[in-house]
Each structure stands twice: as C-alpha cells, then as structure tokens.
Structure 1
C-alpha cells in the first residue's frame, strides 16, 4: 500500500515538474517581445480609435455614396485579408469599413474571454465611435460570419443585409487540438505549435497557394505583439464544440437578404456545411431567400483566390436598389 502511495506521489511530482517546465518555457518566450502601444502604432501607421474595450485598428473609406459595408474577418488573419474586396467595393462607390478584431492585427489585446459577445460588443462600439448611425450591410468571413450573424440577431434594426463567406457554423471536431484545452500545457503548445502552424498555413487556407505567396510575411507582424497567442488560444478554447446553427436560423427568420459564398475545396470549414443554411431556407413556410454562390477551385478564401468573381457577386448583392 505504501509503495502504491509513493508511486502516486512520484507521478504527481513528475506531472507538477512537467507543468513547471511548460510554465517557465511559456513565460520566457520572446516571439511576442513587443508591446502594442502608441509609439508602435505611430511606426505602423493606419487609423485607430478608442472604444470602451480598447483601441481598434481600422480603415474606413467614407467617400462613396453607397451604403456602408462592414467587413469582418475570421479567426486568425486580420483585416488585410479583405484587401481585394475592400478595393473592389470602394472602386464601385460603396463606403467600406474593415477593422481588426481584438487580439488580432494591430488592435488591442484586452483581457477578454474572446467569446462571440466580445466581438459583437466591439463591432457595436466601433460603429458608435465612428458615428455610423444608418443601417449597414455586413460581410463576414469564416468566424466573422458567426460574428455578423450574432450581431444581426442582437441588433436587427442596424443591419440591412448580410453576405457570409465560408461562415463558421459548427466547429470541426479535431482531436489533435484537444491538448490545447489543457491549462499550462495548452499555452505552451499554442506558442510552439499552433501559432507557427498558422504562419505556415497558406496551403490549408487556399486551393492554390500561389495566389497568396506572401502569406507568412503578412501574418508575422501581428504575432510579435504581446497577447496575440493568448487571444488566439482563448478563442480556440471558446469555440471548441460550438454549434451556431440556431443563431443562423434565428437570423434567417428575420427575413433579411442573405448571400452565401463558399469555396468548393475548403479545407478549413467543410463546403458541405452550406446545407445547414440552404436547407433551412428551403423548408416549407420559410420565406428566407439565399443567394448561394459556390466557387469552384477555391479554398477557404474565395474572395482572395477569385477576387473578380466574388467581387462581382458581392456588388450584385450589396448594391442598393435603384
């Protein structure tokens, strides 16, 4: 009996030692050596605005005469992912807003839970701070699709229509991510595996990697600022096992115009998930109409891989009726 107790204590000691090693390794990492403050932002350039939760990096082209289009990015790649879409919509007379979600890009990394409510609150506060009072049209990519859907359900009076590009509906079940859920160990793994994988992740994001040749160069800068890994990891933990189908159904019941764009070769979120939305919209008695645009030879970023095709689809859907 004593020997069993000694083995148990020994095992507990080993686990504690391993956890201590992970904690020290995590605490002494140097890849987030910079603090995102005013002096850093002056060197980075761009526009910033303070809202109650922190400072937001944004770009707003307000010179057009069309409605305001708000572009909301996804899990890890910040607002530069909208570059071709932003430029196309701007050139076609729309007023266009893109911004970095908290924890990403050059927005603050506040101490949040990084749940949907946090992103909804950020978007709402940003519109207030920029004095955008009329209804907006929302375009959400991946996790951003879930954000704009939650936002529409919370503030239906503020939204005219939505375009969803490969939206997060159900978090894919990926057993290899389970260790990230473990305190301390998960933090260390996020440092040494998750973020480096995101840096090299172009092949999972697009059908043809040559369409995004500077993926790593563009993604790297935001990872140098303290708080990025924490935000990404917290988001991953909060999203695990989530199914937002009910939120999409609620949004469809509002009977606002909805567009759905999805790359047929998406490796990040399965193309087949589009049926969650299209099947619900086609139910007897359901008056929601979906402008569904499947994009062949495209991965998770169809707007980047096929900017002319997707840009044309967005303009057709978002342009106000004469």
Structure 2
C-alpha cells in the first residue's frame, strides 16, 4: 500500500497544482490598488463593480456590456465613436473580469442581468437608453431587451453570442460537462487556449486599443478570472436565445447587429439565423473582421454605429 501511495503522489500533485496556483494569484482588490485604468467602484448589492463614464454629461446615454473574456477596455474604439456622436457612455466590468469583484454564484443570464440592473439603478440611468453588447455581452443585451424592451431606445449586438458559437474544444467540453474535470481543464488547457488565441490575433491584426493583448493576458493571472469564465460557459452560454430574439421582434425594438465576416468564434451563419427570426433587424457585416472587431476594425465599427438613432 505504501508503494501505491508513493506512486500516486505525482498524480495528486499534478491534479492539485492548477488549483493551488489559482489560490495564490493576486486578488482583484490588490490589482485595483495599482491600476491606471480610468474608472471607479460602485458598491452594488451583489458586489463591487468597476465602471466608467465617457462623453458629454448632457448626452443621450449608451451602456456597453463586454464579453466572456475581455473586460470593458475592449470598448475603447467604440466609446470614441459613440462619444463623437454625442453619447454619454457607461462601460463596466462584469463580475470576475477586470476590476470588478469575483461575486459568488453561477454566472447565468439572471446573474449577469442582476449586475446590469443594479448598476443602472445605482447610476440612475433613466429609461430610453441605448444598450450595446459585444460577444457574450450581446447575449446579455438580448436577454435584457427581451425582458424589458420598454426601457430601451434601441439595442446593438456586436459579434453576439446566443445563436451559435465555436469557443474551441476545451470550452465546448466544459460547457456541456460541468464538474471537477471541467474546472481542471479550464485551469490548464483552457487557459492555454486563451493565451494561444491572444497571440494569434496579435500576430495578424493591429489594435485600436493600445496594449490590449498584454492586458488580456494579464487577466489570466488574477484570481477568480478563469473560474468566472468557466461559470459563464456552464450556466449561460449553453443556451439558445432564439425565443428572446422573437420577443424583441414582436416588441418592435430597433435592433442593430454587427458581424465579422472572418469571425471564427461567432460564425457568420448566425447573421442568417437572426435574419430569419427578425427580418426587421438592421445588420452590418464587416469584411474579413475577426471576433475582436471592436478593436481590430475601428473605422468599420464607427461606420456601422452611424446607423444608430439619435
């Protein structure tokens, strides 16, 4: 029995190492102390949320929801385009990303909507605002718009999740098979795939957000980031939002959808799925743009956002 225990020690060490490494990473409170990112904290009922306002104080309000893995700095180029149109723009970090708390609970649609609703209340955002979502943020916007279309002037979804996606083999397994093995895989292979994706995009494109790929890589080193992504995969991105898009259609809410023709994460055929559900939606396709189109194709994005109503 002793020899078996000795043989098992390396296996146990290999199994435990990713979780020990995660526990030893700096927490978000430590990172906030040294940040140079503009913004401040809202002490919401569900946790502290990092947010920032940009643009004229008397401008019409636009609220931006980022995606699964990149915090609100992903909106840099879009914020510039929106403020140039006269919008007052609110960006914020989802829980588990950026400088927001690692709030407890499964990151379902309700989880993400609770944070958004609490922030809107805290910042006294009146109804009639424009809501924009990128990637998973597009799915969050879709859910919000379906539940409360009367609160919005219009909705914008950019490379949106909700009608199909391809996040890679590890994420696909993790999404369908929650549990210890899935969590271990995300801490190991999943993290490696995220790094590989960052390097690949950096090698092929120029970013309108200075240092974005370094900032994305730094997220992987903060405690709670990988578990947050894992949780959103398992509790939110498993679903299909066809019914929500039907509700948006029936509510006659203006919807602008922007797609990247070269996006391998959100396939371009999702555009056709949306067209079949909601023929009245305005759709813009940016040629050759990858999933990171918000910062790789800023001029095309600016042109697409000119479709917004005043």
Query: Does the alignment pair 1:191 with 2:191?
Result: no
Q: Is the 8 A contact 1:64 1:93 kept in 2?
A: no
The one-character-per-residue Cα deviations of 1:131-169 (angstroms, maximum 9, x if unpaired) are 112321011111111101111122222211011111112
The one-character-per-residue Cα deviations of 1:223-271 (angstroms, maximum 9, x if unpaired) are 3322111111111222454211111111121101111110111110101
Q: Which runs of 5+ in 1 are unaligned?
A: 1-12, 283-288
Residue 248 of structure 1: aligned partner: 245
State the shift of 1:278 in Å: 0.9
Out of 64, 70, 91, the residue aligned to residue 98 of structure 1 is 91
The one-character-per-residue Cα deviations of 1:17-71 (angstroms, maximum 9, x if unpaired) are 898545522332158521222x542321431111111011111125243310111
C-alpha distance in structure 1 between counterparts of 2:294 and 2:172, whole Å: 31
Residue 33 of structure 1: aligned partner: 25
C-alpha distance in structure 2 between counterparts of 1:25 and 1:56, whole Å: 30
For the aligned residue pairs, the C-alpha RMSD in angstroms reads: 2.6
C-alpha distance in structure 2 between counterparts of 1:204 and 1:234, whole Å: 25
Secondary structure in 2 matching 1:103:
coil
Query: Does the alignment pair 1:142 with 2:138?
Result: no
- Are residues 205 and 245 of structure 1, via their aligned partners in 2, closer, same or farther at CA, if it must alter by over 3 Å? farther
- Are residues 300 and 90 of structure 1, via their aligned partners in 2, closer, same or farther at CA, if it must alter by over 3 Å? same
Where do residues 126-275 of structure 1 align in structure 2 (5 Å cutoff)? 126-172=119-165, 175-177=169-171, 179-180=173-174, 181=177, 183-202=179-198, 208-211=204-207, 214-239=211-236, 241-275=238-272
State the shift of 1:118 in Å: 0.8
State the shift of 1:98 in Å: 0.8
C-alpha distance in structure 1 between counterparts of 2:78 and 2:103, whole Å: 28
- Are residues 163 and 204 of structure 1, via their aligned partners in 2, closer, same or farther at CA, if it must alter by over 3 Å? farther
C-alpha distance in structure 2 between counterparts of 1:53 and 1:155, whole Å: 21
Secondary structure in 2 matching 1:276:
helix
- Are residues 65 and 166 of structure 1, via their aligned partners in 2, closer, same or farther at CA, if it must alter by over 3 Å? same
Secondary structure in 1 matching 2:230:
helix
C-alpha distance in structure 2 between counterparts of 1:202 and 1:25, whole Å: 24
State the shift of 1:210 in Å: 3.4
State the shift of 1:291 in Å: 1.4
Could you say which structure has the larger radius of gyration? 1
Residue 302 of structure 1: aligned partner: 293
State the shift of 1:130 in Å: 0.7
C-alpha distance in structure 1 between counterparts of 2:142 and 2:24, whole Å: 32
- Are residues 33 and 104 of structure 1, via their aligned partners in 2, closer, same or farther at CA, if it must alter by over 3 Å? same
Moved more, 300-309 or 124-133: 300-309
- Are residues 26 and 153 of structure 1, via their aligned partners in 2, closer, same or farther at CA, if it must alter by over 3 Å? same
C-alpha distance in structure 2 between counterparts of 1:315 and 1:183, whole Å: 44
Residue 53 of structure 1: aligned partner: 46
Report the TM-score when normalising by structure 2: 0.86
Secondary structure in 1 matching 2:53:
strand
State the shift of 1:211 in Å: 3.7
Out of 47, 51, 58, the residue aligned to residue 65 of structure 1 is 58
C-alpha distance in structure 1 between counterparts of 2:40 and 2:180, whole Å: 36
